[in-house]
């Protein structure tokens, strides 16, 4: 793993020399996200705000990968490194050309405010699909590889990644500007902090972004414990810290921890927030006048901010300056995005209807508000594609002239009618007619970024972006019932970024394919899976709950009852679950070494595809502490590997389970090994009863006793 310690030291030396030539006003002007030029010193304007959640975003054309939650469902860390590298390559190509044309606008720099490694702890959170799911281990592994791909191998940093939103942040969106997320030290270090720790200490992420909310009383962009004791103290973070956008303004306007903008700017700067996304740092000079901060405070942050630009070679040049514009959305990148979309889709149910056989179908009905929706392909924080392929278009392209495709929108995404002057559910009779005239139905339902997303960006009732419950909009639930009642084999394609109540579809439909928000060409990937060109192989990175009964309040940050590690009742679809067209299972497993408190655990497992179709499978390891009262309620993911298996093929795979997997976290937040006896489960899913019932497979168990 590349560590930029040496390069950062050199860049810091150059930044220090440059900043020493600046006036106080010039230094302060470098701490806004839209940093001002200092022409006399050859410093051009620079905008730190750029986005790359699943492709270069908001600055025109770029390759669009599946939304982050979909990429997580692939359970493929090496693939995430490729994604990061492609994004950095395209970002460089765009930056090179924009700069030549004097375009240094927002979203056109090389400091990407991605990835989002918050934990998707509650299914109501509207931004959960920006994350890698509910598990800190999976989030850590995918996040580390994404950052490695984005930042490159040096000596010049290819693009700068950002771990956000530090640290305890996952809704509610509607009150995030005044909300205080109260978390125990155990929950902090067991769930909310591990991914950030991994990105800082393993991947050497260049920047960290603070959250809007308070955590345990302090605002996250001016937090003594999180920013000073943990981030720069325990973890020795040496990059730059950026505020979420206009979060510092919240200090005095909503959190009421300061009296005015000068005090807010001073508090954030003193705590180590170097770059302000927003305008509160326009008051830094006033804060100096009031004696709240010193020139030295401003100098320190200016040096850290400019160090990033030196690291990126923006003053001295680099090999990346030669990356041509033609790499943007090139054939190879588009194919990689399409490949990842195929890997990300999760087959939740199949009664044998899939894969579809074109030779046995005369007419296929494609129905639903997301069937021909571009919005359902792209998620949020997206770029622009030169071509979109919806599910309808993907199916039409796949079957060509051989099969007649009938289409009906079926209903609006959430309104009670499509045409304003029409009756309620004015498209539902067309949907029923379409089903009646079809041999098989593909029913495309779900959400898009207007129904789940970020506060202020969405079109739901309170513009918060959060969900009130797990149900689809009522018009869609009625559509599913009416179409299913026709009696034709019906496959639900769900396009959404979070846990949805699919109980009716599970009972009454022939198949369910979760496509997430699969990216610009996602409709082709869905068609490839439906017609068996590729086997589905994605796994759920979040729990699909049956309902919210017993779930703590959304504002309660306790992990009790949340996620697969703490759940106390049976889910609809468990974390780690997903079917394939093969018939794979882990048939044997053994621990290869004598395990001690100081060693990792070396494990070998045998996985076999007993089916007649080739597939990819995700082998998963879970560990359970058998002794400690401090252990998580259930068990924790501690290893995963994606493996390709031909029909009838058997493979041996080795895992190194990190020593940390055996540790527990006490009430003070301290981590240590507190047990001698553990059990490791190896399978294609969790070891829970629901997963075993859905897959028909039981994981292999291995006992571990510390020597």
**What are the residue numbers of the active site?**
244
> How far is Cα 497 from Cα 344, in angstroms, rounded to an integer?
12
The gap between the terminal CA atoms of the chain, to the nearest Å, is 31
SS3 breakdown of the chain: % helix, strand, coil, rounded to 5? Answer: 35, 20, 45
Enter the tokens of residue 234: 């325990």
> How far is Cα 513 from Cα 334, in angstroms, rounded to an integer?
22
Count the alpha carbons within 13 Å of 344 in the hemisphere toward its beta carbon: 35
Query: Are 264 and 308 a contacting pair, CB within 8 Å?
Result: no
Q: What does the DSSP assignment read for 501-527?
A: --HHHHHH-SEEEE--S--TTHHHHHH
> How far is Cα 283 from Cα 336, in angstroms, rounded to an integer?
46
The alpha-carbon radius of gyration of the chain (Å, integer) is 26
> How far is Cα 635 from Cα 656, in angstroms, rounded to an integer?
17
Helix 391-399 to helix 522-530 angle, to the nearest 10 degrees? 50
Q: Which residue has the tokens 């923006």?
A: 314
Q: What does the DSSP assignment read for 317-352?
A: --GGGG--GGGTT-HHHHHHHHHHHHHH-EEEEESS
The neighbouring-strand residues paired with 639 are 621
Give which of 438, 556, 430, 546 is closest to 490, Cα–Cα.
438
Q: Which residue has the tokens 């099969």?
A: 403
The neighbouring-strand residues paired with 349 are 512
Handedness of CA 686, 691, 695, 696 (dihedral sign): positive
SS3 category, 255 = coil
SS3 sequence of 631-662: CCCCCEEEEEEEEEECCCCEEEEEEEECHHHH
């Amino acid at each position: 793993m590349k560590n930029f310690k040496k390069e950062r030291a050199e860049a810091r030396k150059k930044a220090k020399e440059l900043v020493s030539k600046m006036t106080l006003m010039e230094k302060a002007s470098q701490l806004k996200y839209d940093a001002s030029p200092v022409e006399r010193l050859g410093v051009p304007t620079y905008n730190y705000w750029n986005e790359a959640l699943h492709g270069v975003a908001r600055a025109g054309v770029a390759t669009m990968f599946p939304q982050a939650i979909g990429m997580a469902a692939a359970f493929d860390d090496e693939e995430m490194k490729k994604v990061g590298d492609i994004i950095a390559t395209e970002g460089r190509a765009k930056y090179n050309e924009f700069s030549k044309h004097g375009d240094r606008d927002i979203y056109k720099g090389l400091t990407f405010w991605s990835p989002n490694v918050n934990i998707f702890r509650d299914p109501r959170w509207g931004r959960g699909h920006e994350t890698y799911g509910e598990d800190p281990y999976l989030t850590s592994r995918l996040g580390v590889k994404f950052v490695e791909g984005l930042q490159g191998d040096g000596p010049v940093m290819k693009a700068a990644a950002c771990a956000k939103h530090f640290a305890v942040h996952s809704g509610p969106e509607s009150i995030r500007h005044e909300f205080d997320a109260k978390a125990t030290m155990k929950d902090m270090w067991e769930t909310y902090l591990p991914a950030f720790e991994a990105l800082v200490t393993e991947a050497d992420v260049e920047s960290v972004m603070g959250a809007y909310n308070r955590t345990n009383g302090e605002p996250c962009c001016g937090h003594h414990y999180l920013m000073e004791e943990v981030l720069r103290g325990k973890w020795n973070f040496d990059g730059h810290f950026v505020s979420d956008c206009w979060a510092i303004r919240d200090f005095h306007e909503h959190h009421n921890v300061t009296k005015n903008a000068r005090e807010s700017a001073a508090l954030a700067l003193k705590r180590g927030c170097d770059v302000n996304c927003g305008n509160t740092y326009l008051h830094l000079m006033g804060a100096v006048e009031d004696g709240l901060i010193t020139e030295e405070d401003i100098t320190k942050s200016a040096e850290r901010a400019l160090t990033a630009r030196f690291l990126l070679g923006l003053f001295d040049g680099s090999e990346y300056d030669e990356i041509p514009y033609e790499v943007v959305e090139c054939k190879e990148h588009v194919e990689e995005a399409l490949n990842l979309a195929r890997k990300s889709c999760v087959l939740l149910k199949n009664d044998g209807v899939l894969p579809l056989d074109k030779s046995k179908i005369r007419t296929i009905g494609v129905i639903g508000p997301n069937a021909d929706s571009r919005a359902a392909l792209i998620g949020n924080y997206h770029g622009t594609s030169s071509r979109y392929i919806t599910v309808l278009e993907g199916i039409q392209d796949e079957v060509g002239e051989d099969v007649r495709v009938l289409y009906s929108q079926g209903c609006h995404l959430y309104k009670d009618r499509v045409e304003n002057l029409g009756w309620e559910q004015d498209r539902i009779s067309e949907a029923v007619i379409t089903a009646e005239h079809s041999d098989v139905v593909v029913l495309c339902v779900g959400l898009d970024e207007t129904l789940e997303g970020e506060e202020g960006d969405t079109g739901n009732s309170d513009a918060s972006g959060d969900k009130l419950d797990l149900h689809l909009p009522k018009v869609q639930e009625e559509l599913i019932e009416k179409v299913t009642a026709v009696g034709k084999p019906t496959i639900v394609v769900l396009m959404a970024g979070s846990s949805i109540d699919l109980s009716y579809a599970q009972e009454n439909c022939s198949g369910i394919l979760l496509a997430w928000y699969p990216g610009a060409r996602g409709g082709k990937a869905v068609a490839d899976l439906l017609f068996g060109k590729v086997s589905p192989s994605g796994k759920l990175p979040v729990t699909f709950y049956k309902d919210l009964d017993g779930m703590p309040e959304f504002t309660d940050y306790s992990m009790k009852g949340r996620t697969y590690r703490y759940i106390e009742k049976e889910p609809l679809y468990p974390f780690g679950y997903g079917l394939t067209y093969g018939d794979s299972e882990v048939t044997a497993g053994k621990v290869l070494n004598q395990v001690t408190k100081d060693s990792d655990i070396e494990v070998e497992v045998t996985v076999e595809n007993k089916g007649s179709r080739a597939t990819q499978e995700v082998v998963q390891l879970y560990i359970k502490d058998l002794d400690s009262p401090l252990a998580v309620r259930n068990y924790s993911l501690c290893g995963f590997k994606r493996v390709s298996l031909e029909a009838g093929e058997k493979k041996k795979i080795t895992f190194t389970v990190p020593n940390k997997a055996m540790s527990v976290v006490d009430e003070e937040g301290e981590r240590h090994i507190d047990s001698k006896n553990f059990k490791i489960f190896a399978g294609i899913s969790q070891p829970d009863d629901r997963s075993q019932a859905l897959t028909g497979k039981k994981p292999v168990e291995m006992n571990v006793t510390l020597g």
